[in-house]
Amino acid sequence: MFMKLVIAPDQDTACAHVADMLYTCCAQNPAAVLGLATGRTMERVYGHLVRRIHDRPVNLAGCTTFNLDEYCGPVARTAQSYRAYMQHHLFRHLDILPTQTHLPPGDTDDVTAACARYETAIRAAGGIDLQLLGIGHTGHIGFNEPLSSFASRTRRVRLAPATRAQNAEMFGDCPDDVPQHALTVGVGTILETRRAVLLATGPGKAAIIARVTEGAISPMTSASALHFHPDCTFVLDEDAAMDLSDECRWMAEFILPRH
Ligand code: GLP
């Protein structure tokens, strides 16, 4: 078993490749359970996925989705929420019932019960077949900031300053306006998924990708836990892969541009 590395020549090819993985998962399994992610990186993935599904329709009636995370507080009911992001970039374009799409309920009064219910719902759906992941500058997957236990489950977390700065665009470029807390599935929850794919593009991700891929496995870098995942693929563009060593690149699969 190896962590698989796929290196694409450019961002669009990397995103299209990941969209293909999601499409194939749904096409092959009418009851597919997808773990979905947010962030700017995923916008292009969802664009490709929507086009694929419109070109060659798949029946999503039996498909279920679970997102990784949501901001805490009243913001979870606004246009800045991850629910709104998912609606805008994916759900409104698909023939999928709102009851089949799940996000952690960031505006709940009883966080402990809501987080336990989220874990139960994932298990009741049969577990996640394909988990999509982005990566934050702190090395987080979901919102699992440094020192998240590799056994952690869905819970409330405090966001690191670097994460609030990274996500400020949706909040008028003002990091102080980014919520301080979020609900996220845990690293342990992510490690239980049947297959995981982490997508990183652009030179801004090169340093963290090299650290996660070749550096120490540590709770200081949550994504490094993916070395324990039985079926994990990193899909990178050349910019995000540029700090990888020759030894590491030697293990990678290189894919060609689409056009
Ligand atoms: C947010 C999400 C993470 C995601 C990250 C990547 O922080 N909670 O799950 O990995 O965004 O963001 P971007 O794609 O904008 O770099």
Which residue has a Cα nearest atom 12 of ligand 1? 39
Q: What is the pLDDT of residues 215-224, one digit of tens each?
A: 999 999 999 9
* Atom number in ligand 1 closest to CA 205: 16
Cross-strand bridge partners of residue 181: 158
Q: Is the CB of 135 under 6 A from ligand 1?
A: yes
What percent of the chain shows pLDDT beyond 70?
100
Q: What is the pLDDT of residues 113-155, one digit of tens each?
A: 999 999 999 999 999 999 999 999 999 999 999 999 999 999 9
| Region for residue 127 given its phi and psi (left: phi exceeds 0; alpha: psi -120 to 50; beta: otherwise) | left
Distance CA 103, CA 65 (A): 8
Q: Is the CB of 82 under 6 A from ligand 1?
A: no
- Tokens 């679970």, residue? 66
Distances in Å between the Cα of 71 and the Cα atoms of 41, 118, 141, 156 are 18, 15, 15, 9
1 pLDDT tier (thresholds 50, 70, 90): confident
**Residue 20 reports pLDDT greater than 80:** yes
Distance between Cα 80 and ligand 1 center (Å): 14
Average pLDDT for the chain: 97
**Residue 241 reports pLDDT greater than 80:** yes
Q: Is the CB of 186 under 6 A from ligand 1?
A: no
* Atom number in ligand 1 closest to CA 133: 10
Q: Is the CB of 139 under 6 A from ligand 1?
A: no
- Beta strands, E only, 154-240: 155-158, 181-184, 196-200, 232-237
Q: What is the pLDDT of residues 62-80, one digit of tens each?
A: 999 999 999 999 999 999 9
Q: Is the CB of 41 under 6 A from ligand 1?
A: yes
Mean of the pLDDT values across residues 180-204?
98
Distance CA 232, CA 228 (A): 9
pTM of the model: 0.97
Q: What is the pLDDT of residues 228-239, one digit of tens each?
A: 999 999 999 999
Phi, psi angle pair for 232, to nearest 5°: -125, 135
* Atom number in ligand 1 closest to CA 82: 8
Is-contact 188 153, C-beta < 8 A? Answer: yes
3-state secondary structure 229-252: CCCEEEEEECCCCCCCCHHHHHCC
**Residue 163 reports pLDDT greater than 80:** yes
Residue 32's pLDDT is: 98
* Atom number in ligand 1 closest to CA 143: 8
Is-contact 246 237, C-beta < 8 A? Answer: no
Q: Is the CB of 167 under 6 A from ligand 1?
A: yes
Residue 98's pLDDT is: 95
Q: Is the CB of 134 under 6 A from ligand 1?
A: yes
Q: Is the CB of 143 under 6 A from ligand 1?
A: yes
- Residue 5's SS3 state is strand
Q: Is the CB of 179 under 6 A from ligand 1?
A: no
Mean of the pLDDT values across residues 6-24?
98
Compute how many other C-beta atoms are within 10 angstroms of the C-beta atom of residue 47: 17
Q: Is the CB of 35 under 6 A from ligand 1?
A: no
**Residue 212 reports pLDDT greater than 70:** yes
Distance CA 39, CA 197 (A): 15
* Atom number in ligand 1 closest to CA 69: 8
Distance CA 7, CA 238 (A): 6
* Atom number in ligand 1 closest to CA 182: 8
Residue 259's pLDDT is: 67
